[in-house]
């Protein structure tokens, strides 16, 4: 079961995981990552009131599908699910969910981390912050060098 979805609605992580393992007995390990909106996510440490995620419809799905295909080429995956939300989210809200299934844990861990690292740097999503203090209403989150470095770990020359 391989699936990529972009949606505004919350997701049910347990239901997604159930889809990976249901009715099969060859899955030995399932890794999930859930990314959440943090209250202190702002660049200057000031409180965050909300994030609005803009995305490029069509390309977002296609780009993540390409990541999933690349992950399947690198590791023996039995399933993978990616759900990415868009729209307005407040601290504590889940933003992104990645789940990978494999016979063995190492492949599931590596593929989940690979998908997240790639998502961060090449999935066409952009975050705009609303600050709790109202001081800077409308700052676009800047890309982090640490995310580029994380994605570069997987580069193949």
Partner 1 sequence: MKILYFAWLRERVGLAEEEVAPPAEVATVADLARWLAGRDEAHAYAFENAAVVRAALDRRHVKPDASLAGVREVAFFPPMTGG
Binding site for its own copies (CB under 8 A): 12-14, 17, 21, 24-41, 91-92, 103, 105-106, 108-109, 112-113, 116, 150
Torsion, CA 13, CA 95, CA 53, CA 141, rounded to 10: -160
- Nearest residue (CB) to its own copies, 55 versus 114: 114
Question: Counting beta carbons within 10 angstroms of the beta carbon of residue 53, is it exposed (0 to 12), middle (13 to 18) or buried (19 or more)?
Answer: buried
The residue written with tokens 């989940």 in the block is: 112
Instruction: Choose the contact partner of 14 out of partner 1, its own copies, none; CB within 5 to 8 A by kind.
Output: its own copies
Does residue 87 bind partner 1 (CB under 8 A)? no
CA–CA dist 147, 143 (Å, integer): 7
Nearest to 67 by CA among 29, 9, 120, 8: 120
Report the site for partner 1 in 45-74 (rule: CB under 8 A).
53-56, 58-60, 62-63
Applying CB under 8 A, the span of 9-17, 71-79, 106-114, 140-148 interacting with partner 1 comes to 140-148
CB 83 within 8 A of CB 11: yes
Shortest separation between residue 126's beta carbon and its own copies, angstroms: 18
Question: For partner 1, which is the closer residue by CB, 23 or 40?
Answer: 40
149 is a contact residue toward partner 1 (CB under 8 A):
no
- For residue 80, with 0-12 CB atoms within 10 Å meaning exposed, 13-18 middle and 19 or more buried, which class applies? buried
Residue ranges in contact with partner 1 by CB under 8 A: 35, 53-56, 58-60, 62-63, 84, 95-96, 116, 119-128, 140-143, 147
């Amino acid at each position: 079961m391989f699936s990529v979805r972009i949606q505004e609605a919350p997701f049910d992580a347990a239901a997604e995981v159930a889809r990976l393992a249901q009715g099969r007995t060859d899955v030995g390990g399932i890794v999930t990552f859930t990314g959440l909106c943090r209250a202190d996510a702002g660049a200057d440490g000031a409180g965050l009131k909300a994030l609005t995620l803009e995305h490029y419809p069509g390309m977002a799905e296609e780009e993540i599908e390409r990541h999933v295909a690349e992950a399947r080429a690198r590791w023996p995956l039995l399933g993978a699910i990616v759900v990415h939300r868009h729209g307005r989210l407040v601290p504590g809200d889940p933003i992104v969910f990645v789940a990978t299934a494999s016979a063995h844990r190492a492949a599931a861990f590596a593929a989940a981390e690979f998908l997240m690292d790639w998502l961060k740097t090449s999935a066409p999503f952009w975050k705009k912050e609303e600050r709790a203090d109202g001081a800077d209403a409308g700052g676009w989150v800047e890309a982090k060098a640490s995310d580029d470095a994380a994605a570069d770990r997987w580069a193949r020359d």
